[in-house]
Structures are given as C-alpha cells and as structure tokens.
C-alpha cells in the first residue's frame, strides 16, 4: 500500500473503529496529523500508524489528558512498575475492544478511573503478577497443549488464584501480498530463504504464536530471514508487507481488510481473554465489567465490525 495515498476521514474512522466526529476531534487536539486538499481533510497511512504508536501509553477515556508510560516503565520488567492509585483500574492490552470497554466503564463505574495500558500479552500478565494493573488481556497459545491462555496464566501468576474471562475469538494468519506471489501457505514456508518476515515485538500474542510453531517444526527464529525486524502493531505488520518491505507477517484477520494490497491466509482461531486476580473478582468494578460484556448494548458495538466472534463473550473460561 502507498503510505502517501490520501485517506478520507471516513477511511480513518473505519480503520480505527471510531466515529467520524472523533477523528475530527483528534485532529483538533493535534493528536492525529492531517493535511487539506481545498476544504477537505486528508490523511496518509503513516499518519494513522504514528497515531497508533503514540497512543501506546496509559490513557484515561474520561479525560483529555493522559499519562505516558515513561515514568511507569521498567526495562528489566518489560512492563509497568508503579502500584496504581486506589481508584485507578488499569486494563492492559492492545485491541480496540478494550478502548470501548474502558469507555463503558467510565460511564457505569463513576468512582473508578478506567485506564488503558497498551502492552502485549506476556508483559500484561507480568504486570498483573506484580500488582501494577488490575486486568490483563492475553492471546497466548501453548504449543504443547494446544490451549490458549490458561497454561500461561498458571506459569506467569504462580501461586496467585486468577479468573479468566472470555472476550472474543479472532482468526490469526499470514499477511501476504495480493495474489500471494511467493505461494506462502504454512509455517513450513518460513524455512525458505526467499521469504522475508516482519515480526511483532517479544511478548505479543502473534509473536508467541509464531515462536511456538517454529519450535514445533524445529526452526530457530534466528534462521528466519527478517525475524529480528520487529514492529508494534498488526497494522504496521500488514502495511510493511503491502509496500513490499517484507513477504509475510503474522496478524489478525480484521486488519487485512483495512490495508490495500494485502491477502490473508487463515491459520488458526485464537481466544482473546481477560484475566483478573480472584481476590478482586467480587468487587463492584469487576462485576460491572462482567455485566458490560454480557450486555446487548456492548455486544451491539461489534455487530458491524468484522473479525470478532463474540458468541462466548463474558463467559468464565477458568479459575486458576
């Protein structure tokens, strides 16, 4: 995809799954770069990607301001490193579903500051273990059991009883160029020396999925061309493939429809779950989250968004 191609306000709203008025507000606040053609506002894909990258910090949907991760981030932890204030409830994860969820929490949990932290699945669970957040989201696949999330919750929260709540199922697969010129069909194709990968950051669910499959077919990541080329979102993985800077990347299906010149090769359905410590499960906030997830009003938000299977949303997956 041409990174300089003009995108309309509606294009950006569709990509970010927000209202057109919200796009105009982001431009007004200087959070989203734009330019004008006559009286029309236009954007480039680079503008949208930059907005997503800059948004990966703790945000309070009830306030215009936000607190960056700079004073909360620890390199040796790979996650947050401050105990949140008493009325802060931090939900950790990268899917846009969580932006909608924390918005609803702001509406129905009046005495709680619902915050977002945009870090990957593995680091989210580590941050939950240390008590730096209240809810982690995860889509980590265990190659030995074929199970999502439960094995990782038990490993990364040792001795801490937790509750796993289902959010959605999403299809994971390969992003390849339109027409799939390299004929990429399976994980085994990553053994080929004519294929260049664009990877996700360590700890991301898509990265763990890749690494687990490489382990199962006895391939070292270091032997895959482009393995060490990392980026922070599904959108940038897809756009890297679309502009020919890589041949393949791993990501979720719904992003493929938002980037021109991309074809999606489905590989497996993943489970995306919310994790909280059992000791706070009966609190007003967590019970409110359950009611929100199970409500027709919240489910209706995803009616017209492709790539989400919400048939089991709000169900308890496991008590660990």
pTM for the whole structure: 0.77
Q: What angle do CA 294, 162, 283 make, to 5 degrees?
A: 55
Residue 90: closest CA among 47, 119, 64: 119
- H or E segment and range at residue 117: strand 113-117
The overall longest dimension of the chain from CA atoms, in Å, is: 61
What is the distance between the alpha carbons of residues 114 and 105, in angstroms, rounded to a whole number? 6
Length of the chain: 320
- The number of helices, as runs of H, and strands, as runs of E, in the chain is 11, 17
In the chain, CATH 3.40.190.10 covers 55-168+271-319, 172-269
The CATH code for residues 172-269 is 3.40.190.10
How many CA atoms are closer than 13 Å to the CA of 153, on its beta-carbon side?
Answer: 26
Per-residue pLDDT of the chain (320 residues; tens, 9 = 90+): 455 678 888 888 777 767 677 788 788 777 788 888 888 888 888 888 777 766 655 454 444 333 333 344 344 333 455 556 568 899 999 888 998 999 999 888 888 889 888 888 999 999 999 999 999 999 999 999 999 999 999 999 999 999 999 999 999 999 999 999 999 999 999 999 999 999 999 999 999 999 999 999 999 999 999 999 998 888 889 999 999 999 999 999 988 888 889 999 999 999 999 999 999 999 999 999 999 999 999 999 988 777 899 999 999 999 99
- Topology of domain 55-168+271-319 in CATH is D-Maltodextrin-Binding Protein; domain 2 (3.40.190)
CATH of domain 1-54: 1.10.1660
């Amino acid at each position: 995809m041409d990174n300089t191609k003009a995108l309309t306000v509606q294009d950006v709203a569709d990509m970010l799954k927000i209202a057109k008025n919200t796009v105009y507000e982001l431009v007004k606040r200087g959070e989203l770069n734009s330019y004008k053609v006559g009286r029309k506002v236009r954007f480039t894909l680079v503008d949208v990607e930059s907005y997503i990258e800059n948004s990966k910090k703790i945000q309070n949907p009830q306030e215009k301001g936000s607190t960056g991760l700079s004073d909360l981030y620890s390199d040796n932890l790979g996650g947050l490193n401050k105990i949140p204030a008493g009325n802060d409830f931090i939900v950790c994860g990268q899917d846009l579903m969580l932006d909608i969820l924390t918005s609803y929490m702001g509406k129905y949990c009046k005495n709680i500051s619902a915050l977002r932290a945009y870090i990957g699945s593995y680091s989210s669970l580590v941050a939950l273990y240390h008590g730096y957040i209240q809810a982690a989201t995860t889509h980590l696949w265990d190659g030995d059991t074929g199970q999502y999330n439960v094995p990782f919750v038990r490993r990364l929260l040792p001795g801490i009883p937790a509750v796993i709540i289902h959010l959605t199922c999403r299809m994971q697969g390969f992003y390849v160029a339109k027409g799939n010129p390299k004929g990429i069909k399976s994980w085994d194709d990553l053994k080929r020396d004519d294929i260049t990968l664009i990877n996700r950051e360590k700890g991301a669910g898509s990265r763990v999925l890749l690494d687990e499959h490489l382990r199962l077919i006895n391939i070292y990541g270091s032997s895959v061309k482009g393995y060490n080329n990392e980026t922070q979102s599904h959108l940038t993985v897809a756009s890297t493939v679309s502009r020919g800077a890589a041949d393949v990347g791993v990501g979720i299906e719904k992003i493929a429809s938002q980037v021109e010149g991309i074809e999606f090769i489905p590989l497996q359905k993943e489970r995306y779950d919310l994790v909280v410590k059992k000791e706070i499960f009966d609190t007003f906030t967590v019970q409110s989250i359950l009611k929100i997830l199970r409500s027709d009003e919240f489910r209706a938000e995803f009616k017209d968004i492709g790539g989400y299977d919400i048939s089991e949303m709000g169900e308890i997956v496991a008590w660990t």
